[in-house]
Amino acid sequence: MASKKILIIEDETAISDFMCYSLSKEGYIVRAFENGNDGIKALEDFKPNLIILDLMLPDISGFDICKKVTNTFNIPIIIITAKCDITDKILGMELGADDYITKPFDMREVLVRIKSIFRRIELTKETVISKEDYVIVIQKYIEIYKDARKVLKDGEEVELTPKEYDLFLFLAENGGKVFSRAQLLDKVWGFEYIGDTRTVDIHVQRLRKKLDKLKNYSIIETVFGVGYKLNFS
């Protein structure tokens, strides 16, 4: 299996060099940039499997980069920043970040978060045996292609972040079963994830915005006092 490629956008040289060294020792291919514009330019050429992104950069906000990446690419993002305000964390998740780590941090934690993201992506990949094995059809207008990690709405591909896709696929594969927010955090984000249940609400809201067809009817139903389930009909 080819080594995973990680793009670091971090303006503190000491932190960037330390992450490059640690990640390279783990077998990752790493490229690092100290400003956002150079990091963005590297996306097409380097084609990273994951981005580690600082919020406070000298030329462009990390939030703007996060928004641009999630609107154009399907690349998981881990935000690393000195800002510890919960508002910044929520905004980062709303813009499509998959995880959030506050400085100062232990590099072992970063490695665990990275491995957790890659593991979740690998677990959702299925071997193609038949159409029924790798395509899930929901309400006749949504198709999930598991081998390609792709979702179609009325035949048009919907751009989902890695975590939006993981959450939607998990609900789809569990036949309309109701899950609490805590259960979804555990099953989709994994036990390593340090966050609160509002993360689930944010991702459900984004999925509804992208996938719903009717104003008063959602493909993901809120079961009050319990959690969420997928509407198949």
Same domain, 104 and 136: no
For residues 200 and 218, membership in a common domain is answered with yes
Among candidate residues 173, 178, 186, the one with its CA nearest the CA of residue 223: 178
Residue 140, pLDDT > 60, answer yes
Name which of 77, 137, 87 is nearest 113 in CA terms.
77
pLDDT class for 38, splitting at 50, 70, 90? very high
Tokens representing 222 are 């809120």
CATH number, domain of 36, equals 3.40.50.2300
Q: 66, 91, 124: which is the final residue of a domain?
A: 124
Instruction: Report the number of distinct structural domains present in the chain.
Output: 2
Tokens representing residue 15 in the block: 């932190």
Q: What are the Cα distances from residue 183, in Å, to 2, 36, 189? A: 33, 36, 10
Quick check: 55 and 61 in contact, CB under 8 A?
Answer: yes
What does the pLDDT read at residue 134? 61
- 174 and 190 belong to one structural domain: yes
- pLDDT-based confidence at residue 12 (cuts at 50, 70, 90): very high
pTM: 0.60
- Residue-wise pLDDT for 143-192, tens only, equals 888 878 889 998 888 989 888 999 999 998 887 789 999 899 888 887 55
Q: Is residue 140 located within the same domain as residue 113?
A: no
* In a shared domain, residues 111 and 146: no
Torsion of CA 89, 92, 93, 96, to 10 degrees: -170
The pLDDT of 101-107, averaged and rounded, is 88
Same domain flag for 71 and 120: yes
Query: Which of 59, 90, 124 is the endpoint of a domain?
Result: 124
Same structural domain, 76 and 104: yes
Please check whether residues 108 and 47 belong to one and the same domain: yes
What range defines the domain where residue 217 resides? 131-230
Q: Do 116 and 198 have their domain in common? A: no
Choose the final residue of a domain: 93, 124, 155: 124
pLDDT above 90 as % of the chain: 39
**Pair (94, 142) in one structural domain:** no
Q: Are residues 137 and 199 in the same domain?
A: yes
CATH of residue 208's domain is: 1.10.10.10
Q: What is the mean pLDDT of the chain?
A: 84
155 burial type by CB count under 10 A (0-12 exposed, 13-18 middle, 19+ buried): exposed
- Provide the residue type at 153 as one letter: K
Which residue bears the tokens 């490629």? 5
Question: 120 and 17, same structural domain?
Answer: yes
